[in-house]
């Protein structure tokens, strides 16, 4: 019984931790996507792009500055891969100001008042 409940608890904690990492990375990718031109990528290419960005930028969730790999992913992000995923519920969990600061620390300008899904940049 204990083992089963521990397994459930561990999985739920890991899912929440992963969700937080995904949210932070998604916020950063969303802000950078605002400045990337549309290229008409396939759904598979978009998924690969999002996965690479999320994995490269996970340490940002823990307060670390973005790595070179994270910045490279952010600079290559495409709007059509990210913006459709930003629902009002997800947008409520994202600190857009922090995401803007992270993107700008990678050397990218972030347009003001840009709408991406349910987020508008400050």
CB atoms within 10 A of CB 13: 10
User: Position of tokens 């857009």?
Assistant: 96
Residues of the chain with pLDDT under 50: 1-16, 18, 21, 34-35, 37-38
| pLDDT of res. 68 | 96
The total of structural domains in the chain comes to 1
Range of the domain at 43: 2-120
pLDDT for position 69: 96
The model's pTM: 0.67
DSSP-derived 3-state class of residue 92? coil
- Please tell me the predicted confidence (pLDDT) of residue 109: 84
Phi, psi of 116, deg, nearest 5: -135, 110
């Amino acid at each position: 019984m204990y083992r089963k409940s521990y397994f459930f608890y561990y999985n739920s904690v890991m899912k929440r931790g992963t969700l937080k990492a995904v949210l932070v990375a998604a916020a950063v990718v969303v802000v950078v996507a605002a400045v990337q031109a549309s290229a008409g990528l396939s759904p598979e290419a978009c998924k690969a792009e999002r996965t690479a960005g999320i994995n490269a930028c996970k340490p940002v969730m823990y307060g670390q500055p973005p790595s070179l790999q994270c910045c490279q992913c952010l600079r290559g992000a495409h709007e059509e891969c990210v913006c459709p995923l930003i629902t009002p519920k997800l947008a409520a969990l994202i600190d857009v100001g922090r995401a803007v600061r992270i993107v700008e620390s990678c050397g990218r300008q972030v347009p003001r008042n840009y709408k991406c899904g349910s987020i508008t940049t400050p």
